[in-house]
Amino acid sequence: MAARRRRERSPANLKLKQPDRSGPTEKSLLELAEERGLWDQVRKREQELGKKAVPIPIPRPPKNAEDDGDGDDDDEDDGDGEDDDGELSPAADRALDTLLWTVSLAMLHFTLDVLVHHQYSVDRIVWPTVWRRFGQALFVFGLLVYLLHPHAVNPGLVPGLPPRYQAALRQVIFFITSSYAGCYLIHITNTSGYMAVMKQAPPLGCLWIWSTIELELPWAVLSLTGAVAFLWQRGYSIK
């Protein structure tokens, strides 16, 4: 232990010394590569590979196809009534609009038909007859909606009449239909027998609702006011 202590030197006896800041005395790897001509060999190899590379030809359209645009004209009309941007053509849009209104009105007719049968406590509903009347309503309302419902491509009711008068003519037709259907429906439900009500109430109710929806707000309010006045003047009840 004593000998070991003698070999140990205290920090105070160590001599301080600056680090060696001189440059490297041997050649670097870059210098060795330049002496051996490795850079020249790399350049020659790149030139050889560039000469062996085959350029890829770019196909060009034929001269007689210059006026075809982007070549998408063949796909412009696929028979589905859609344009290039995915929008429906005006004719297809009118057909779908007519189908939506027709199915909605026919389903309303079906619902009113069943409700009238339940109102008069009919024990057995003849479903084939109800479905037959549903089909008739589908055909009649489809024709009426196609002719009378306003649409951008609808030519109008009277050929040659200006568009503003066409719109006014439609409003007159819908106002008369709404007023007559509403008043007559109130009349038959208060004076006629159950058989007449079951046959006439569903189509009259559908006509009344549809024509009122097609009216502008002031005309719709006036039509409903007329129905209320008719109910009050005749002393009918809605119970």
pLDDT of the chain, 239 residues: tens digit per residue: 555 555 555 666 666 676 666 666 677 777 777 777 777 887 887 877 777 655 556 666 655 544 454 545 444 444 455 555 567 788 888 899 999 999 999 999 999 998 888 887 666 778 888 899 999 999 999 999 998 888 877 777 777 778 778 888 999 999 999 999 999 999 998 898 888 888 899 999 999 999 999 999 999 999 999 999 999 998 887 76
At residue 198, the pLDDT reads 87
Taking the C-alpha atoms of residue 15 and residue 19, their distance in angstroms, rounded to an integer, is 13
Taking the C-alpha atoms of residue 120 and residue 131, their distance in angstroms, rounded to an integer, is 19
At residue 61, the pLDDT reads 60
Cβ atoms < 10 Å from Cβ of 120: 11
At residue 86, the pLDDT reads 65
Taking the C-alpha atoms of residue 207 and residue 8, their distance in angstroms, rounded to an integer, is 117
At residue 63, the pLDDT reads 57
Reported pTM:
0.61
Taking the C-alpha atoms of residue 112 and residue 181, their distance in angstroms, rounded to an integer, is 15
